[in-house]
A and B are shown apart, each in its own frame.
Chain A
């Protein structure tokens, strides 16, 4: 188990209040089912991007703190990227610096 931090930028046309539940289903399916735990799910809300991504000037940011195995996190990242309303993801291990 390792501590990871995942940041996701989502399509701004989504409803902001649907973001947390839909991310939670991903976390349930991938992280919790494989024995990991989610420490924090923080939805920042709509934020201006400093440059356009896929022709969009804004994005909904969400930051997830979790404990999980490397394989589970890789799978979560893969599944998030497959979702078309996910503009960008980043996985970070905060202790690695």
Chain B
């Protein structure tokens, strides 16, 4: 362990890079989730089919394969050359987005037809319905699920080391290759656990705050 001491700083920095990558991807994934989630619950069948295709495709292909696709195939197809960071962000956003769509969809659908009918009978239209009736209740379902997805994305970010992006995992591997010990990997595991466990507790806290039955 003593060997590891000088490297703790860069390990922590790696953890922050992982958190940053997952965090930025979460923002994009959430945007995808809200937009495609609304499409997925719309009355327009072709749009719903598109949403389903996206969700099912992404969820049925490993993140690693998607990452390779974004990093190696997209440059060939689109004549772009994304940096590892850009490719990692894109792949992780699209991956997390598919799960977010499902979280948003189940949130929207948690608000029953009873309430929608009551709203319509009061003259409340789609925009007001979504903003003031559906969204506040959907969040109660969507946010805890989104925390779980964020945790998955944060762990999934370790895969991006394979295209040469240096985050927590790659940092740990690099240190291991320098000091020839397992301790950097153990330290990485502890850091992953610390981040994910805190997020999970945070999710449970948010869930408690969002409950209104007991008020």
Whether both chains belong to one complex is answered with: no
Binding site for A on B (CB under 8 A): none
Residues of A in contact with B (beta carbons under 8 Å apart): none
